[in-house]
Amino acid sequence: MTALIWFRDDLRLTDNAALRAGSADSGGIVALYVLDEESPEMRPLGGAARWWLHESLSRLRESLAVHGVPLVLRRGPAERVVQEVVEQAQADRVYWNRRYGDERALDARLKTALRERGVAAQSFQGGILFEPWTVLTGSGGPYRVYTPFWRACLAAPSPAPPEPAPERLRASDATLVSDVLEHWELQPTSPDWAGGLAERWEPGEEAALAKLDRFLTERAAGYEAGRDTPALDVGSELSPHLRWGEISPRTVWHRTLESGVSAGGFLSELGWREFASYTAFHNGRLHERGLNAQYDGFPWRAYDSHAVGAWRRGETGFGLVDAGMRELWQTGFMHNRVRMVAASFLTKNLLTDWRVGEAWFWDTLVDADAASNPFNWQWVAGCGVDAAPYFRIFNPATQQKKFDASGEYVDRWAPESIMLPELVDLRETRLRALAAYESIRGASRER
């Protein structure tokens, strides 16, 4: 028996249920990754994510090669490509780890098609702690508020411990043609804007596990007190590794609890990530439409290329916003507190549709996640589930005084911001935003 292991957002060997299932097959395994940019359910990756994917696939290829298993790369619609490889490898079973967003429709069609051909197809719990259909309200529906959702998760049986990587893997005897990773052109060439990403990050499973250990031994003790201070190095920086499945949330969860550090706030961040995936599962297409229909008629201003361009370049004249946007461009990352401030400035002070900002983050973040990215933008804009109240408008000047009083973060990333003219008047634009939100609330009351 030969098993095809279809890698997706699980680019690791440790705690990989699909890989462990296939490792027991006597005919060996075929390890496959499909770059699918054509299926309607798949959102094409942004530039920073493509860079990370290239590096992560390189590391996965090396890890599998230690066991004598080649990584087969193919490009095209996954529904077609997987079946082609099944036929070429004469595989009689296919294993994969589940996805929970719009891709589920593709996976369901493929599972049906394979079974109709007599090929066993089995999926396993993917990159989340709790399967979304197991966490429901008393009335049987999905939660729309984070706190009771997470309370229900914590009351459920604890996530299973992570499984070790298979001790032995055997490659199938099939000879398969693989694409050349470099031919996919996932990395920029001219101009090469990825130097800052390469300097900041080391993708791959080995780096992810080392980063978790470093966080628990060196940073976790200061996390609770310093998590909102962007100049402090107390964060785990695990988000891109989790996004690409180089480390599983179960590994993070259990190692954190076993470490003995006080990390309730850190684990609650895993809970927020869980809530984003949960919301995507129950709603879908988060990057296209708001979850609160009341905001469908929100009076966004016409697209202002000058204002949006200044926001993207970090030239708004507001230090915390500018520092965050420049950190994002140079490193593919931004501190979570600063993400909220930058998003609030775009949506509320500039009254720019949240989808504009979400698309920019999707293109520039190495941890751009199909659930978390739009989920968090909707939270700031006020149109998501459990969203920030419409009247919560983060004042970037006040936020800087509170969380970067010494100016260390701003001086690191945008020291000249103080010399730039301020793009807007904060008080005036705040009142304008409140009036806009009140207009749709009034319209809703009249209906």
Residues paired with residue 34 on neighbouring β-strands, in sequence order: 74
205 is catalytic: no
- Structure token pair of residue 132: 């979304």
Enter the DSSP assignment of 218: I
416, amino acid identity: E
Residues in the chain: 447
96 is catalytic: no
272 is catalytic: yes
377 is catalytic: yes
Long-range CB contacts for residues 274-277, cutoff 8 Å, separation at least 24: 274/128, 274/129, 274/130, 274/150, 274/153, 274/249, 275/143, 275/146, 275/149, 275/150, 275/375, 275/386, 276/369, 276/371, 276/372, 276/375, 276/376, 277/100, 277/101, 277/127, 277/128, 277/132, 277/371, 277/372
Within 8 A by CB and 6+ apart from 347, the residues are 353, 354, 357, 377, 380, 381
Q: What totals of helices (H) and strands (E) does the chain contain, helices first?
A: 19, 5
**Pick the catalytic residue: 184, 237, 272, 292?**
272
- Structure token pair of residue 307: 């204002």
184 is catalytic: no
**Pick the catalytic residue: 96, 311, 354, 379?**
354
What does the alpha-carbon distance between residue 389 and residue 193 come to, in Å, rounded to a whole number? 37
**Pick the catalytic residue: 244, 311, 377, 379?**
377
Q: Which of 62, 4, 13 is nearest to 33 (CA)?
A: 4
| Cβ–Cβ under 8 Å, residues 143 and 135 | yes
Encode 168-203: b = buried (16+ Cβ within 10 Å), e = exposed.
ebbbbebeeeeeebeebebbeeeeeebeebeeebeb
Enter the DSSP assignment of 171: B
Within 8 A by CB and 6+ apart from 148, the residues are 137
**Pick the catalytic residue: 269, 274, 315, 327?**
269
Please give the helix or strand (H or E) that residue 62 lies within, else none.
helix 47-66
360 is catalytic: no
Which positions are annotated as active-site residues? 269, 272, 300, 336, 354, 377
